[in-house]
Structure 1
């Protein structure tokens, strides 16, 4: 079954818990992968953005190599079990980990004993953007306006985030830009944060682009900024933080890791898969249908990117 066949219209939910991709065309056989069966371990439950990204990558890994690729969801222990599975796995390419920017937060806050340096970093695949939203009656229309308002009203503006996650880092970055006049508070998951914002318990929150579009169209919320230096393709009319003079670009980027000392043949093969995906017009179309933006980096490009990402997160965690 095609991964895209499992995608529900208008959403990200995939029906299957795991897939196998065994296309055996001449094109698929051009990339020689060192094993015939691959498990992509995901520290998240089925149905979310991380799971979606894993299944799409599994589809293309199988398509180009002919390997049978299964996605395995292991959220036990907050994802620690998944990280342990791959960190201690065989270095032959048969087990890979797919996770996102939270790997830095989890490691730096002590939630995970593993950081990105404890794996072989292979590639980045795609990314999600968060936007900063406020109620439509807020006395500011932009992120720069929110920061100015917070400076003019120290201690009065609250930013709802989820402590211990990437949204807390985003809140802390905005707090620093406001010279600590804005307060970051724990408001829970995105659904909880939204309820708190609409209930006037907090003044601004980070939210995924897809959800934000619904509330903007309903006339309940307004977007202050996209937290990326480039416009989001699903809402190109929304301003970026950078365009307002706020140096904050922090998308949620999904990356693929292997065990330490991964077989060089597997690294070369994944590099070839990434190169093929960059040239395959269907890849961008499939990810766009799943409301994801391709963000492809190979094993040579991912190292500097992860270091920069890690340094940004660590600058806000004591």
Structure 2
């Protein structure tokens, strides 16, 4: 009898040990839901739908995009973190809910609550001035704002938002003081900048590019280390010796923590291949984004380092965490 029981227990244990690898080998056996914590139509949603379409033939399953906007992306990110860790609920997010919002909002997740899978690339934020502003280069811009502390203002996407923290991170290193003026998003910032209500536009590229083409703005400084071909006149932070202070708008894929490693590896390989397709590359180019495909390890390191760096900036400028 004891021998029979030992055999049964051993069989159960063996079956249990085989469940993970076997499940991973069969994955995905049904459609995958891709939660996007943003409303339809924006850059994050566009990239999510493009990469979902590109990865379907690679995974051999339908990928269903599910927009769950709210709380600056934190609502959808919370849903992903709390989902069953089986690889059938993923999140396509931009960095703000992961590295910025936790400093200004009380969120129900930490970097230990989700598993980075990969990231696709980034779009820099940019500082733009009116055509008659007395600076033609980033170096001249820096000299001007340092010479007159507190005289100039820059619009941004909200108190404690990524643009504000990105700008303040740079200004702190420069020893410059520029007054932030928060708005409801980059589009509203652009309108107020064009109306002369703030000295500088601070925001993402798409809303300001048409006005640069029309000669209504000149963009001088990016928050990325390198330059961007969409704005050849704008310097990157490397050009002024501050490349290590890069903060950009980037996008990536996450899964719930405790998702089986073999499933995560399969997802990483599939989505990285999808990001290499010509159609997806074209989608990024049309949005003025820079493709920089990183794997799970590099994306995880990026999240943690950026979270820490922006936390330092948020504390220095007195950003207070609020309940949602």
Tell me the TM-score normalised to structure 1 length: 0.82
Q: How has the CA–CA distance of structure 1 residues 246 and 138 changed in structure 2, closer, same or farther, with 3 Å as cutoff?
A: farther
Cα deviation 1:207-259 (Å, max 9, x = unaligned): 33233321112111101122222222333453223213344422211011111
Matches within 5 A, 1:104-123: 104-123=99-118
Larger fraction in helix: 2
Contact 1:100-1:253 within 8 A present in 2 as well: yes
Q: Does 1:125 align with 2:120?
A: yes
> What residue number does 1:288 align with?
285
Q: Which runs of 5+ in 1 are unaligned?
A: 1-30
1:317 is aligned to 2:314 = yes
Please, what is the CA RMSD of the aligned residues?
Answer: 2.2
CA change 1:167–1:286 in 2 (3 A) is closer
Equivalent of 2:190 in 194, 198, 207 = 194
1:117-152, CA deviations, whole angstroms, 9 ceiling, x for partnerless residues? 321111112322222101111112233322221221
What CA distance in whole angstroms lies between the structure 2 residues aligned with 1:237 and 1:77? 35
Contact preservation (8 Å) 1:131, 1:212: no
**Aligned equivalents of 1:266 and 1:283: distance in 2?**
23
Q: Do residues 147 (structure 1) and 150 (structure 2) align?
A: no
Structure 1 residues 60 and 278, CA gap change in structure 2 (3 angstroms): closer
Output one character per residue of 1:128-179: Cα deviation in whole Å (capped at 9) or x when no partner: 2222101111112233322221221122111221213111112212331342
User: Aligned in 2, Cα 1:111/1:295: closer, same or farther, shift over 3 Å?
Assistant: farther
Matched, 1:267 2:259: no
Give how far 1:283 is off.
Answer: 3.7
The corresponding residue for 2:301 is: 304
CA contact (8 A) 1:148 1:178 kept: no
- Taking a change above 3 Å as real, the CA distance of residues 264 and 35 of structure 1, as seen in their structure-2 partners, is farther
Residues 276, 93 of structure 1: alpha-carbon distance in 2 compared, 3 angstrom cutoff:
same
What's the counterpart of residue 241 of structure 2?
245
- SS of match in other structure, 2:314: coil
Alpha-carbon distance in structure 1 between the residues aligned to 2:308 and 2:93: 18
Q: State which structure, 1 or 2, has the greater radius of gyration over its C-alpha atoms.
A: 2
| Pairing partner for 2:177 from 167, 178, 181 | 181
1:309, CA displacement in angstroms?
1.9
Give the whole-Å Cα distance in 1 for the aligned partners of 2:153 and 2:247.
20
Render the CA deviation track for 1:12-50: whole Å, top value 9, x for unaligned. Answer: xxxxxxxxxxxxxxxxxxx96334211110111000011
Task: State how far apart, in whole Å, the 1-side matches of 2:192 and 2:115 are.
Answer: 40
Structure 2 portions without partners, runs of 5+: 1-24, 316-324
1:229/1:249 contact within 8 Å kept: yes
Any conservation in 1 of the 2:149–2:178 contact (CA below 8 Å)?
A: yes
Using the TM superposition, give the Cα deviation of residue 111 of structure 1 relative to its aligned residue in structure 2, in angstroms. Answer: 4.4
